[in-house]
Amino acid sequence: MKDQIIIDQLLQAVGGRENVKNYEHCATRLRIILKDDSLLDKQKAENISESKGYFFNTGQHQFIFGTGKVNEVYEAFAQTMGKEQQANFKEDVYSNLTPVQKVVRTLSDVLVPLIPALVTTGLLMGIRGLLVELGVPFSADWYALFEMLTDTAFAFLPVLIAYSATKKFGGNPIIGIVVGLMLVAPQLPNAWVVASGDAQPLHLFGLSISGYQGSIFPAIIVGWLVSKLEKGFRKFVPQMMDLVVTPFLTIVVTLTLVLFALGPILQVAEKAVINGIVYLVQAPFGIGYILYAAVQQLIVITGLHHSLSIIELGLLNTSGENVLQVLGTASMAGQFGAAIAAAFLYRNKVKRSNAISAAVPTLFGITEPLLFGINLRSLRIFASGMVGGAIGGLMTYIFQLAATGMGITFIPGLLLYTGDFGAMLKYIAVILIAFSVGFACVQLQRRKISAELNEETTMEDDLQTVSAIETE
């Protein structure tokens, strides 16, 4: 065999063929998952003939052979192993991830397919807000049409997420859509309207029930419940009744659990968030400003950020100023800087372009595409954005800066400072400083983050290969 020496050295390095659990290759690397990682001889792994390098990441021992050569080595390795690559490579990859990596990967798998829709409507929403604040006149009919373009995807975000999550977890996506639609049904008081105090929730069994507009995690839980319940019910429901009984039970049980179990938990969480933020912002020496600006985008991820309008209204009513607007913008700017720095670390030009596109709506105050499309793919990127936001919060405290309104952030937020040119300059300075710090923190970790992002790209290629094999 032409590559027998390479194969022999590989098997010696990984602890023998009996220690090989699974294997695959991408464009340049042979990837091997072992049963016992401790049996690997790193010195031998780093000195394989014709190998350009070795590293270990996401539970995979990766040997770099380069384009073309890796295909030869893979075929020779498969011949020696006596079997082709197993179809469960995807599951083996996930089983080797840490719990944190699994959570991040699951979020990514569920939310990334939604990015194109969120980017488009996010940009439209930002443009609409800017035009309105500039005083551009709209007739009622034209404004309604504009709202249809800008608000639909975000108003029905739980539906999109429930569909994607149900598909990810192996359930019937149509059932996921149905339950997602029930979460934002017009019969339930709109969560945003309830948060502003303009509507009252429903009261059932002593619980307050409202819609789940803007919620993320409840919709993901819906997808998980639908897939698990559907599979569970199918085990004992007679086949002749499966078409009706299984969907019925799945929808009823999922919705009951979400409305009457998850709902109250979220209400407690929202109250805790609101009270915690009030105490946090009031902390002395700017500590509250720093911490809030660091974690504000975490609140966006949970979907609880719509409740912040209550605090903003209270601040404006009591003092005429709203510091949360500045701190929220600082948090966005830090994440924006980290995202832009990360985007340029992608070696794949298409992925780099997509990452930049996902980041752009942040300029108009829409951060979901950025968070789910870029920053949550690596905890290093998100943490860098948090550091940027924290420094922006510190500058907000030093400048003693606060807005005179609410509802708009980042570039549209400039309109809240048109009456005070000095305050506008400070606002711009907070954005630039937070952005620069977030950008710099990613640059300081560029080697590790680049490895994570580009590793993720090739892993996606691998999983697509596995899917193709399973289809065949």
Question: Which residues are designated catalytic?
Answer: 26
DSSP 19-76: GEEEEEE-SSEEEEEES-GGG--HHHHTT-TT--EEEEETTEEEEE--TTHHHHHHHH
Which residues make Cβ contacts (< 8 Å) with residue 319, sequence separation at least 6? none
Q: Could you give the CA distance from residue 222 to residue 220 in angstroms, rounded to a whole number?
A: 5
Question: What is the residue whose two structure tokens read 């924006």?
Answer: 336
Which whole-number Å values give the CA distances from 327 to 156, 282, 393, in the listed order?
Answer: 27, 13, 6
| Closest listed residue to residue 40, CA positions, set 77, 7, 66, 15 | 15
Tokens found for residue 263: 């709902």
Which whole-number Å values give the CA distances from 300 to 10, 311, 342, 365, in the listed order?
Answer: 47, 15, 20, 12
For residue 153, how far is the Cα from the chain centroid? 16
Question: What is the residue whose two structure tokens read 């194109």?
Answer: 116
For residue 193, how far is the Cα from the chain centroid? 25
* Sheet of 29-34, strand order: 20-25, 29-34, 60-64, 53-57
Which DSSP letter does residue 442 get?
H
Tokens found for residue 183: 């979460």
H or E element that contains 208:
strand 207-209
Which DSSP letter does residue 258 get?
I
